[in-house]
């Protein structure tokens, strides 16, 4: 519809890695998308599973590859500090990013906000600092 209306847009869109393929990415580009943002979160399958991401490290890498192949910028939202994170899982994430080379990375330290399951878990296991 964007193309049919003759609109000329520069869009940044968010997507889940399991929903993109070459055809969709080509359509996004034709409609004016210039950047696709994925919630990659981690380069460790152990952490992705703990987050219940319903994605694999391999699928995350493929989504980044396909996005760049479609001549779109690819941003990766990442977290460190999820319960169960270790130096090894952080190293896996570092290796994942070095291998896949997303256009940009938004790295955040996990904040367990009150009322969330992570907050309750952190409080129960004694890893919560402050309130």
- Comparing 11-25, 26-40, 107-121, the range with the smallest average pLDDT is 107-121
50 neighbors 84 (Cβ within 8 angstroms): yes
16 neighbors 39 (Cβ within 8 angstroms): yes
What's this model's pTM, rounded to 2 decimal places?
0.89
Q: Which residues contact 125 (CB under 8 A, 6 or more apart)?
A: 83
Q: Does residue 71 belong to any structural domain of this protein?
A: yes
Rounded to whole angstroms, how far apart are CA atoms 63 and 68? Answer: 9
80 neighbors 109 (Cβ within 8 angstroms): yes
CATH number of the domain encompassing residue 26: 3.30.750.200
Stretch (H or E) spanning 14? strand 11-15
Task: Kindly state the tokens that stand for 93.
Answer: 């994430």
**Which tens digits make up the pLDDT trace of 55-95?**
999 999 999 999 999 999 999 999 999 988 999 999 999 99
Per-residue pLDDT at 60: 98
Per-residue pLDDT at 9: 87
* Structural domain containing residue 62: 11-125
Q: Does residue 3 belong to any structural domain of this protein?
A: no
pLDDT at residue 21 above 90? yes
Q: Does residue 6 belong to any structural domain of this protein?
A: no
Count of domains for the chain: 1
Handedness of CA 120, 122, 125, 131 (dihedral sign): negative
Task: Kindly state the tokens that stand for 41.
Answer: 């979160």
Per-residue pLDDT at 7: 86
Q: Does residue 112 belong to any structural domain of this protein?
A: yes
Stretch (H or E) spanning 29? helix 22-30
Work out the average pLDDT over 15-35.
96
Q: Does residue 2 belong to any structural domain of this protein?
A: no
């Amino acid at each position: 519809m964007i193309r049919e209306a003759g609109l000329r847009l520069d869009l940044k869109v968010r997507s889940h890695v399991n929903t993109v393929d070459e055809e969709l990415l080509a359509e996004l580009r034709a409609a004016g998308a210039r950047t696709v943002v994925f919630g990659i979160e981690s380069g460790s399958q152990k952490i992705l599973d703990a987050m219940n991401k319903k994605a694999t490290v391999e699928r995350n890498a493929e989504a980044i590859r396909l996005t760049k192949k479609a001549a779109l910028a690819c941003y990766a939202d990442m977290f460190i500090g999820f319960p169960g994170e270790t130096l090894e899982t952080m190293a896996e994430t570092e290796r994942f990013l070095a291998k896949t080379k997303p256009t940009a990375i938004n790295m955040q330290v996990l904040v367990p906000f009150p009322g969330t399951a992570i907050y309750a878990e952190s409080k129960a296991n004694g890893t919560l600092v402050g309130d």
